[in-house]
Amino acid sequence: MSSHVPPGRLQGPSAHPMLAAARSGRGFDATSMMPALWPLRLIPRRSPPFLTALAISAASLAAAVGLRAILLGPQNATGLSATTFPALIIATLYAGPRWGWATLAAALVAGFWAPLTTAVGVSNGAVIAMFTVSAVLTIVVSSSLREALLRLDEANAAQGKAQKALEATEARFRALADSAPILMWVTRTDGKREFANQAYVDFLGDSFQTALDFDWRKVLHPDDLPRILQEQVAGEASRRQFTLEARFLRHDGEYRWVRSVSQPRWGPDGAFAGFVGVGYDFTDARRAEEDLKRINDLLAERVEEALAERDEAEAALQRAQKLEAVGQLTGGVAHDFNNLLTVVIGALDLMQRHPSDEARRERMIEAALGAARRGERLTQQLLAFSRRQALKPEPVQVDALLKDSEALLRRAVGEAVRLVIAPSAPEAVVSLDPSQFEAAIMNLVVNARDATPAGGMIRIETLPVRLEARQVEALEAGDYLCVAVHDTGSGMDAATIGRAFEPFFTTKPPGRGTGLGLSQVYGFTHQSGGAATVDSAPGKGASVCLYLPRIAGDAAAIVDALPARADRGPMQRVLLVEDDAQVAELVEAMLRDLGHEVRRAEHADAALAILRAGETFDLMLTDLIMPGDKSGVDLAREAVALRAGLPVILSSGYTGEVLLAAEDAPWPLLRKPYGSQQLANTIAQVIRPAPEK
């Protein structure tokens, strides 16, 4: 708004006459500036009617003849003389050029018969010729004068019309500008205002002339003045459109925020002519914006508080859910382990009561081993759920693995439900952990058995497939093996399918399951680089499909390249470090059964003392977690430092961070529980000669 007020310059009066006249209410008449030429107004601008023109011509000629008669006598009245020229002028101006020529012709005819007055030595022909030339020139000049008067009238009429149009335009502009609710002004090149609208004047609360001359720096807010002066100088110097925002003191004493936009204007010749400016009061909008900002800040605080409360509530809910889940988990695990321990304890008790019954002893041993294996699978499920169980993938022919597991699967299904195994991918080889895969298939089969009524069927099949990118979940395009378990059970609705793979979720009655079965399947499949899907509907049974990435190459060659089962190797002197007496006794028995000599130590310090005493050993098998400040990894490092090249095997059933550190150690890790064959295979790998390794 202050862009039209250059620093240090007060505004002068208006120099625009039309704007001033429009403001004062007076009209502007261009003819008032012309000299007084009223006699010319008597000359008609158009040729009069014939009789009028004839009367004017005859009267003018008669007047000339009469004047000559008075001066020279009647006998010389029609002679040719200078008295005829006024008649020619009057006839040409008032009747028209053609009547001037007619009057000249009549004068020549009349003068032909009249005597001529000539100077001595001048002939009559010369006099007549001189008269004719003068008369012609008189008519031509009069005709030109009459034409000039006509053009002058037309110009005056056009100027008057333009003036009226200008006044109408000025009036419309003034009405439009005064009706606008924004401030408007026009400045010249020197920065002086030559126009301001009514809103401009009302903002100041003074007269129009005062508004034109007003210095806006007087009402600028002191905090805005330095900035506005700097921005104004830069804006005017650029001769481009620029915008200013500042607080101005209105006539009622209130500071108002005004945003002004100044646009340069250019003359017809392209020269800079000043600025046209508009300004509008946006105080209310600014206040609303500030109020909105405060509201937003307040809302942000409230939202943050609400989010904090929600997070706290969610944390409390999660704690409650965790407690509920842990309760459900411990109840299910305790129930399952109690069943397993019942079988083991009952079988051992019967064997102890009837040591001589060979048939019963074999059945009880098989039952106890089966229960122990089920306990091992349950432990693996827990480890997989806690993400502490590392997979040991190896190339596997799934069809052959299913064939080997068929007997165990049939015992799990029982006689009431028919089990069909239909492998269709004998050449497909997949990299996976065989034990985890068997556990996953067992979980699917057990779930299918529980959902299938007597007389139903469970079908396990394999099928090589080619998948496009993201055809199944987020799997990449490639070759996969689909392992599907179908059942003819009660099926699942959409809500149940959506939660099927959630940990602890189960539709079984309390005490009938932990809810970890499908969770283990899902985790194992994804850890193996694949995906798991469920297709089911109420009353239509269910199909669970595992998609596992296949290994390219010949299946027989890949499987033949796997290490064979280790046989009983040569006798080794083994240092066994185990703090659990029962576990130590069992492992010692397995080592001696494999033909090895064993020396036991209960903790790391005892083992180091034996090594420092000078006894020689071919192998050290140590537990990972033991009493004291040394772990199995620490013991292995010190033992190798004392006996360079000493083979070491780490063993643990622990799932904590120490186990994760052990997996990065250079020694193999034998996971508990393990059997004699696993122990023999691990020892064979460790003590194998270097060329074979």
Which pLDDT score is estimated for 618?
92
Q: Does domain 392-560 have CATH number 3.20.20.220?
A: no
CATH code of the domain occupying 283-389: 1.10.287
Measure the CA–CA gap between 241 and 510, rounded to whole angstroms: 79
Pair 453, 491: CB distance under 8 Å: no
Measure the CA–CA gap between 208 and 200, rounded to whole angstroms: 9
652, two tokens: 């643990």
DSSP helix/strand/coil, 135 = helix
Q: Which residues are bridge partners to 249 per DSSP? A: 255
Measure the CA–CA gap between 57 and 170, rounded to whole angstroms: 49
pLDDT over 80 at 425, yes or no: yes
Pair 235, 245: CB distance under 8 Å: no
As a whole number, mean pLDDT of residues 412-438 equals 87
The more confident residue out of 96 and 454 is: 454
Measure the CA–CA gap between 232 and 243, rounded to whole angstroms: 9
Please count the other Cβ atoms lying within 10 Å of the Cβ belonging to residue 461.
18
CA atoms within a 13 Å half-sphere pointing along the CA-CB vector of 255? 12
| pLDDT confidence bin for 547, thresholds 50/70/90 | very high
Pair 271, 248: CB distance under 8 Å: no
Which pLDDT score is estimated for 16?
37
By the 10 Å C-beta count (0-12 exposed, 13-18 middle, 19+ buried), 487 is classed as buried
Residue 673 Cα distances to 86, 333, 663, 683, angstroms: 150, 18, 17, 16
Which pLDDT score is estimated for 57?
82
Residues of the chain within CATH 3.40.50.2300 domain(s) are 573-687
By the 10 Å C-beta count (0-12 exposed, 13-18 middle, 19+ buried), 350 is classed as middle
Amino acid letter for position 8: G
pLDDT digits (tens, 9 = 90+) for 108-138: 887 766 666 554 555 667 777 777 888 888 8
pLDDT digits (tens, 9 = 90+) for 280-330: 888 988 888 888 888 988 888 888 888 888 888 877 776 665 556 555 556
pLDDT over 90 at 208, yes or no: no
The answer to whether the bond into 549 is cis (omega within 30° of 0) is no
Which pLDDT score is estimated for 22?
36
Q: Is the pTM of this model over 0.85?
A: no
Least confident of 178-187, 465-474, 475-484, 567-576: 567-576
Which pLDDT score is estimated for 606?
92
| pLDDT confidence bin for 13, thresholds 50/70/90 | very low
pLDDT digits (tens, 9 = 90+) for 247-291: 999 988 899 999 999 999 998 888 998 999 999 888 988 888 888
CA-only gyration radius of the chain, Å: 61
The more confident residue out of 285 and 343 is: 285
What is the SS3 string spanning 161-210?
A: HHHHHHHHHHHHHHHHHHHCCCEEEEECCCCCEEEECHHHHHHHCCCHHH
**Helix or strand run (H / E) with residue 276:** strand 272-281
Which pLDDT score is estimated for 620?
94
The more confident residue out of 136 and 661 is: 136
Residue with tokens 């694949």: 530
| pLDDT confidence bin for 388, thresholds 50/70/90 | very low
Helix ranges (DSSP H) in 11-94: 17-24, 50-72, 84-90
Pair 602, 579: CB distance under 8 Å: yes
Which pLDDT score is estimated for 151?
83
Which pLDDT score is estimated for 72?
74
Give 456's DSSP letter: -
As a whole number, mean pLDDT of residues 131-148 equals 83
Task: List % helix, strand, coil for the chain (3-state, nearest 5).
Answer: 55, 15, 30
Residues of the chain within CATH 1.10.287 domain(s) are 283-389
CATH code of the domain occupying 180-281: 3.30.450.20
Q: Work out the mean pLDDT of the chain and round it to a whole number.
A: 79
Which backbone phi and psi does 482 adopt, to 5 degrees?
Answer: -95, 120
pLDDT digits (tens, 9 = 90+) for 576-608: 999 888 888 888 888 998 899 999 999 999 999
Give the dihedral sign, CA 438/441/443/446: negative
As a whole number, mean pLDDT of residues 8-37 equals 38
| pLDDT confidence bin for 479, thresholds 50/70/90 | very high
Tell me which CATH homologous superfamily contains domain 573-687. Response regulator (3.40.50.2300)
Measure the CA–CA gap between 546 and 517, rounded to whole angstroms: 14
Residues of the chain within CATH 3.30.450.20 domain(s) are 180-281
